[in-house]
């Protein structure tokens, strides 16, 4: 085999690893985004549970206000009752007071119900928050692992790029340029011909290509795809 071919095969091996590492690096943000989507469901559950707590608190406030209003009315009616000297008015006021007191009892019952609902809502929120925290911890671990992976790949990439540079340096510039042009289009530029078939395009090469390879004096390209070829017999 031509020494240039041996050199190119080594360069190509590095170039293919460089491509693979570059792709792996490019995929990392996708993996990170995917990891973060795991949080969405738990975050939504926390938001919903928070909303239920808030709504229940508002209901309780509103009931308390209703109770306060009725108690003020009761107080006012009792004052009126205290001041009146007419028996029928006294009795009428007494009935009204009882009616408002009945209202207050109903409101207090419903306040109690809402207080229980609030306890349940708070427990629900706590459960949702715990689950989110658990998922967050797992996602953080995944993100950290991905960061470490990216750092590792980057280090390896730098190393291989250096190696590639050293391996490419002694290659004849025209040959290297030809190789680079083909590699940039096809991701492999140097392929074997086996049983007369090009390993790149899988087309049978013409006999002059085989002859040229047997002479082994110059770089030979596949007549179909243009890749640089070498012979396996």
Q: Which is nearer to Zn ion, 45 or 225 (CB)?
A: 225
User: In the complex with Zn ion, which residue's Cβ is closer, 53 or 225?
Assistant: 225
3-state secondary structure string across 5-32: HHHHHHHHHHHHHHHHHHHHHHHHHHHH
Tokens (6 digits) for 56: 């229940």
Packing angle, helices 3-83 and 87-168, rounded to 10: 170
* 4 binding Zn ion? (CB under 5 A): no
Residue 116 contacts residue 59 (beta carbons within 8 Å) = no
Return d(Cα 139, Cα 32) in angstroms, integer.
9
Asked if residue 225 binds Zn ion (CB under 5 A), the reply is yes
Q: What DSSP state is assigned to residue 96?
A: H
Does the protein bind Zn ion through residue 222 (CB under 5 A)?
yes
Measure the CA–CA gap between 194 and 88, rounded to whole angstroms: 119
Please report whether residue 201 would count as binding Zn ion according to CB under 5 A: yes
Whichever of 171 and 182 has its CB closer to Zn ion, that residue is 182
Give the phi and the psi of residue 219 in degrees, each rounded to 5: -65, 130
**Which among 55-63, 125-133, 169-177, 219-227 is the span making contact with Zn ion, rule CB under 5 A?**
219-227
Interface residue with Zn ion, options 168, 198, 219, 228 (CB under 5 A)? 198
171 or 191: whose CB is closer to Zn ion? Answer: 191
The nearest distance, CB 194 to Zn ion, in angstroms, is 12
Contact residues: Zn ion, CB under 5 A: 198, 200-201, 222, 224-225
């Amino acid at each position: 085999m031509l020494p240039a071919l041996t050199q190119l095969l080594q360069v190509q091996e590095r170039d293919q690893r460089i491509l693979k590492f570059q792709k792996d690096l490019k995929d990392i943000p996708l993996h990170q985004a995917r990891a973060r989507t795991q949080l969405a469901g738990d975050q939504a559950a926390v938001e919903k549970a928070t909303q239920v707590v808030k709504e229940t608190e508002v209901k309780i406030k509103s009931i308390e206000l209703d109770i306060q209003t009725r108690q003020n009315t009761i107080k006012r009616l009792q004052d009126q009752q205290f001041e009146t000297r007419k028996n029928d008015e006294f009795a009428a006021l007494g009935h009204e007071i009882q009616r408002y007191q009945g209202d207050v009892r109903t409101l207090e019952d419903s306040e109690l119900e809402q207080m229980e609902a609030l306890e349940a809502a708070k427990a629900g929120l706590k459960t949702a928050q715990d689950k989110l925290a658990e998922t967050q911890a797992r996602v953080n671990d995944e993100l950290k692992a991905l960061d470490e992976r990216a750092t590792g790949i980057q280090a390896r990439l730098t190393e291989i790029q250096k190696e590639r540079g050293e391996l490419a340096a002694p290659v004849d510039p025209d040959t290297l340029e030809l190789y680079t042009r083909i590699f940039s289009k096809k991701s492999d530029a140097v392929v074997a011909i086996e049983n007369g078939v090009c390993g790149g395009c899988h087309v049978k090469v013409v006999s002059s290509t085989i002859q040229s390879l047997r002479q082994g004096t110059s770089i030979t390209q596949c007549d179909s795809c243009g890749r640089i070829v070498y012979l396996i017999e």
